[in-house]
Amino acid sequence: MSAHEAGALHAPGYGGIASVPAWLTPPADTGELLAPLWASSVRRGPVGSLQVGGVDVRDLAAEFGTPAYVLDEDDFRGRAVAFRDAFSDAFADLCGGADVYYAGKAFLCTAVARWVTEDGLRLDVCSGGELAVALRAGVPGERIGFHGNNKSDAELERALRAGVGRIVADSVEELDRIADLAAALGVRAPVMLRVTVGVEAHTHEYIATAHEDQKFGLSLVGGLAAAAVRRALERPEIELLGLHSHIGSQIFDTEGFEVAARRLLDLQAQVHREHGVQLPELDLGGGFGIAYTSDHDPQDPARLAKGLAAIVGRECDALGIQVPRVSVEPGRAIAGPSTFTLYTVGAIKDVLLDHGAVRRYVAVDGGMSDNIRTALYDADYSCTVASRVSAAAPVLSRVVGKHCESGDIVVRDEFLPSDVGRGDLVAVPGTGAYCRSMSSQYNHVPRPPVISVRDGQARVLIRRETEDDLLGLDVG
Ligand SMILES: Cc1ncc(COP(=O)(O)O)c(C=O)c1O
């Protein structure tokens, strides 16, 4: 959708309602749940309300209020374990297994950091704050990878003191700072180099170019990546582990990874020829897609891992090099589907568009402060009435928030029953990744809690913000 205000009002319409995206068809039953969109325990209970982890959403709303992020613990952990097992199996013969780093930027709190550690994953953090959460949770330093394109000396020093398993360096200048800090601390810094491979992948499309105009990484074609390898090998305080790339987000196939792996392994072979060094590790990043709507068809981790293992095996064979130990960094694919956001419906408006069409606006008690992805990335979401089922006819609706911004849209297009009304609960699935972690206090709206559910029990992982929290920093 256009970010311009007029975008929503000037959408073309037909036959009395606003235009429907090609992938969205009016459902026979507005209460039906599309399984790939929801955490595995979500279902409709005996009276039609949603249940998750054996808990009714009406009880969650009564106890914890709305909006709330509701996280299915078994679903989250099940996806983490599925990635762990899929990658260790697929790479077992090639390089003795593979490591999975959960990308904490998708959603991180101390409970999640503990879960992934207990379940045998590693943790990728990309700021001093995320590192602090990991350390507070007791994640052993050697299981942490530390990312970031502009790490401060203080962040690097903290990471080195914590004994992190890898720092992913983003520039030659940073390599020198890491080496100097390591020398001062009397340690050797384990380092991966983030390489810009010229592949940009999003959903079904990827673009492979030589050049990439972006802030991350060390360019291959510009020679920065090779220069960084040389620099790292010159500095005895650095233990160069290998090369890293992350090519994008919401990726559903392996074509982009194939080009990225080929380019990384070419450099790996060049390093071997020029320096006689066999880099022991290779990281292919994250970006694996999930289903936000019926339009998305993600691969399961086992297929994905087999696809990536075949690519790495083939490329290493062709180059005649030893297969490095591979790692990946999924965030969204673990956290995203585990969570839905539960809102309460407030105002409802039928707005007359050009051509006489009408668009129904359903306003909920949260919005762009708890889910910025729709406004920021044009992301599509789906939703359902969660507190009941209805036999009323489906009406194309737009779910919007309560913020002072016309782009404050949560779900751009969804069929909701025509009798949806004030007080109904609405659930938006797939909000476990990049919603709470990108949330804000815009309009001084307190951020929602994260409630995890399991075996009929709900517990607060992150409590709701209060007015005192909002005013707590205001010392004026
Ligand atoms: C370096 C790196 N690794 C992993 C991820 C996780 O990506 P996703 O959540 O799409 O799997 C990101 C996301 O931005 C990233 O920048």
Write out pLDDT tens, residues 197-229.
Answer: 999 888 777 888 767 788 999 999 889 999 999
Residue 51, φ and ψ in degrees, nearest 5? -125, 145
pLDDT at 212: 79
Whether ligand 1 lies within 6 angstroms of the CB of 374 is answered as no
For residue 275, report the distance from its CA to the centre of ligand 1, in Å.
31
Q: Is a pLDDT exceeding 90 seen at residue 354?
A: no
Per-residue DSSP letters for 56-105? EHHHHHHHH-SSEEEEEHHHHHHHHHHHHHHHHHHTHHHHS-EEEEEETT
Q: Is the CB of 122 under 6 A from ligand 1?
A: no
335 lines ligand 1 (CB under 6 A): no
Residue with tokens 């990225």: 260
- Angle formed at CA 82 by CA 260 and CA 253, multiple of 5 degrees: 30
Convert the pLDDT of each residue in 261-309 to its tens digit.
Answer: 999 999 999 999 999 999 999 999 999 999 999 999 999 999 999 999 9
Q: How remote is the C-alpha of 391 from its chain's centroid?
A: 35
Cα(452) to centroid(ligand 1), Å: 23
Lowest mean pLDDT among 12-16, 50-54, 63-67, 241-245: 12-16
Q: From the CA of 256, how far away is ligand 1's center (Å)?
A: 15
Residue 16 pLDDT: 66
Q: pLDDT tens digit string along 87-118? A: 999 999 999 999 999 999 999 999 999 999 99
Cα–Cα nearest to 141, from 114, 116, 122, 115: 122
Q: What is the DSSP string of 174-185?
A: HHHHHHHHHHHH
Query: Is the model's pLDDT at 252 over the cut of 60?
Result: yes
Q: Is the pLDDT of residue 189 over 90?
A: yes
Spatial separation of the C-alpha atoms in residues 124 and 197, rounded to whole Å: 20
pLDDT category, 19, cuts 50, 70, 90?
A: confident
Annotated catalytic residue within 95, 383, 404, 435: 404
pLDDT band at 9 (very low <50, low <70, confident <90, very high): very low
pLDDT at 55 over 80: yes
Quote the ligand 1 centre to 126 CA distance (angstroms). 10
316 is catalytic: no
Task: For the sheet with 205-208, list strands across it.
Answer: 205-208, 199-203, 248-251
Which among 259, 178, 174, 274 is positioned nearest to 216, based on CA atoms? 174
Residue 148: CB within 6 Å of ligand 1?
no
Q: Please tell me which residue, 355 or 330, carries the higher pLDDT value.
A: 330
Instruction: Please indicate whether residue 288, judged by its CB atom, sits closer than 6 Å to ligand 1.
Output: yes
**For residues 226-244, average pLDDT:** 98
**Region at 347 (left for phi over 0; alpha for psi -120 to 50; beta for the rest):** beta
Q: Would you say residue 331 has pLDDT above 80?
A: yes
Predicted confidence at residue 205, as pLDDT, reads: 79
Q: Are 124 and 104 in contact (CB under 8 A)?
A: yes
Nearest alpha carbon to residue 123 among 174, 89, 160, 166 = 166
Is the distance from CB of 268 to CB of 243 less than 8 angstroms? yes
Give the chain's mean pLDDT: 94
Q: Is the pLDDT of residue 348 over 50?
A: yes
**Is any atom of ligand 1 closer than 6 Å to the C-beta of 283?**
no
pLDDT per residue as tens digits for the range 441-464: 999 999 999 999 999 999 999 999
The atom number, within ligand 1, closest to the CA of 329 reads 4
- For the chain, the 3-state helix, strand and coil shares in percent, each to the nearest 5, are 35, 25, 40
**Cα 328 to ligand 1 centre (Å):** 9
Helix (H), strand (E) at residue 282: strand 281-283
> pTM for this one?
0.95
Q: Is the omega angle on the peptide bond into residue 67 within 30 degrees of 0, that is, cis?
A: yes
Q: For the chain, give the percent of residues with pLDDT over 90.
A: 91
Counting ligand 1 atoms within 8 A of each CB, the residue from 83, 87, 99, 105 with the most, and so the one to mutate, is 105
Enumerate residues 6+ apart whose C-beta is below 8 A from 476. none
Question: Dihedral sign, CA of 106, 112, 114, 116?
Answer: negative
Q: Is residue 330 lining ligand 1, measured as CB closer than 6 Å?
A: yes
Partners of 350 in beta bridges: 360
Question: Which residue in 2, 39, 73 sits closest to 431, CA to CA?
Answer: 39
Lowest mean pLDDT among 103-112, 161-170, 198-207, 319-328: 198-207
Q: Whose CA is nearest to atom 5 of ligand 1?
A: 286
Alpha carbons 92 and 107: distance in angstroms, whole number: 29
Structure letter (DSSP) for residue 23: T
Residue 201's pLDDT is 87
pLDDT at 90: 98
| Contact predicate 283/336, CB 8 Å | no
